[in-house]
Amino acid sequence: MRAYVKEFVTVQGRHFVKEVVSLVFFAHGRPKEKCQPRLTDGAAGRGNSPAQLSWERQKVNRGKEDMKKKQEYQGIIEKVVFPNKGIAVTADGERAVVKNTIPGQQVSFVVNKIRKGKNEGRLLEVLKKGKNELEKPACPHFGMCGGCIYQNLSYEHQLELKEGQMHELFAPVLAAEGKKFEDVYEGIKPSPISCGYRNKMEFTFGDSFKDGPLALGMHKRGSFYDIVNVENCKIVDADYRKILKTVREFFAEREIPFYHRLRHEGYLRHLLVRKAAKTGEILIDLVTTTQREGFDEEALLGEFADMLKAVPFCGKLAGILHTKNDSLADVVKNEGTKILFGEDFFYEELLGLKFKITPFSFFQTNSLGAEVLYETARDFIGDKAGKESRVFDLYSGTGTIAQIFAPAAGHVIGVEIVKEAVAAARENAGINGLHNCEFIAGDVLAVLDDIEGKPDFIVLDPPRDGIHPKALHKIIRYGVENMVYISCKPTSLVRDLEVLQAAGYEVKRMSGVDMFPFTGNIETVVQLYHQKSTEYFHVDYEPQNGDYLDKMPATATYREIKQWVYDNYNGMKVSSLYVAQIKQKYGIIERECYNKRKLENARVPQCPSDKRTAIEAALKHFKMI
């Protein structure tokens, strides 16, 4: 048996790992000292602890050499897993995730991460095109710009790729119901237009290389600092391209500095552009810091507005705004907005309804695609929500879905955590003359406890991370017969469906809607049905000596569950965290865990499949599920 041992060197008090590794040979059988390879210097640099250099991670895999970090490989992309994770397979059968690839490509890549036996690589070069790859990408900025990932595929093949990803994600979930994917899946609906579909873009000021000329566009792929000019972008229309070109030239001529994200110096930060697909109204918002040394800001902004008013747009200029933002984060944040021209809003239309949109309102970024999405959801509801019905629209945003369903329902209650979105929803309902809509500001988890009465139908449209587990259990307890779940991230939907299935819900219909051509994202609409028994029978039973109490299953403790797994699965050890995750999956977590991570975005380990199987077996043994 042999294993690789990394050698450490110390330079000026800092620990480094040598690229060259030395071989240590052991006799057959397990080496001594808990199978830990020896460190030549006894030192462990940051991120290279002895645990990370454990025997299991450094061993040679049955005579086949494992991939190594920083080493270059070649492979063929076998498939692309949602959203853009290409699976590269080398000639030796080794596998690595290489993003921004398409099936059939032969690529070279360098391994930059190895974790838990999984390899991740960074794409270096496409050596051979894939079978369905276009000879020339549709967009000249493709490859440099970090926006789109499928400009090298025809739209037809993009839909095929996304359909395959949906099948791979949902087929195992539906199999748990004894159904095939094809039994409920109704296909993927394309966007009405695949080019120029965006109604909102956030462009960034910067430079394409260090100390280069002013750039205005999108972040370069894989870069935090470099900006790519995208004046020929294909997912926006001609008006956006005119705005990009004229605004960049205007500030470049005047040598106005952009905000440097490392030094936190400069003036120009972002350019927010919105345009309605139906009304053609355009809203332009220049986002800057308050650092205005070396120029007259008021005069500059006046010239800026006059310049834009003189541009011959295809649409109608509704407003020009200036927003201040001194936040250190590289995001568009409103710390005060001033109107330079016109209004600070515009109107868009969806399915015959009118919606007032402000610079920072949430609204689907593909207006025509949104109509397809909401028509699909409305079709899934059908006549199940009648004129006397009570409908809950949870995670309602600006109330778009609630207002589309309101004419066919008795009363619609929308719940949304963002107060500004709730205010916009109320205003839009008034504009559309809908008086049976009620919008509540608050977290769904908390608000559901305060709403009186029970819904007849529930529409779910949560953010990308899906529904909070505790909120999902409250939703399940309503016991409604029909629900529609609209998801913008299929992997989150898969997780939530498992919980809903465990509670007795089954998938009746499913459809994909491609709202974002040339990207890896896709919307999924699912109709859920809960079978209620309509037949009952009466049984007379008289307990003898309290035997019904003796036969009631007791709830096992965490210690008992872990001990059972240890005894029945060859000494397997599972943590309380893993047990809690599986209990939560089946809805049997009854109180909040106070042993939380201190950091808000800390990574929480997820229970591996083998331990999940063992814990589920223990819960079944103790009759808890």
What residues are labeled active site? Answer: 488
User: In 66-191, at which residue ranges do the beta strands (DSSP E only) sit?
Assistant: 72-81, 85-89, 95-99, 106-115, 118-128, 185-189
Helix axes 297-309, 238-253, angle to 10 degrees: 150
Q: Which two tokens stand for residue 307?
A: 């310049």
Give the separation between CA 107 and CA 75, rounded to whole angstroms.
Answer: 6
Q: Given the structure tokens 């960074």, which residue do they identify?
A: 122
Give the separation between CA 321 and CA 158, rounded to whole angstroms.
Answer: 37
The SS3 of residue 172 is helix
User: Residues of 284-319 as b/e, b for ≥16 C-beta within 10 angstroms?
Assistant: bbbbbbeeeeeeeeeebbeebbeebeeeebebebbb
CA 169 to each of CA 181, 464, 484, 538: distance values in angstroms, whole numbers, following the listed order:
10, 16, 19, 43
Give the separation between CA 573 and CA 430, rounded to whole angstroms.
Answer: 59
Are 181 and 170 in contact by the 8 Å Cβ rule? The answer is yes
Give the separation between CA 191 and CA 516, rounded to whole angstroms.
Answer: 8
Give the separation between CA 443 and CA 457, rounded to whole angstroms.
Answer: 19
What's the half-sphere exposure (Cβ side, CA atoms, 13 Å) at 590? 2
Q: Which two tokens stand for residue 441?
A: 């500001």
Which amino acid makes up residue 472? L
CA 583 to each of CA 299, 499, 552, 555, 623: distance values in angstroms, whole numbers, following the listed order:
63, 11, 19, 12, 12
Are 268 and 301 in contact by the 8 Å Cβ rule? The answer is no
Helix axes 609-621, 576-585, angle to 10 degrees: 70
Give the separation between CA 223 and CA 144, rounded to whole angstroms.
Answer: 10
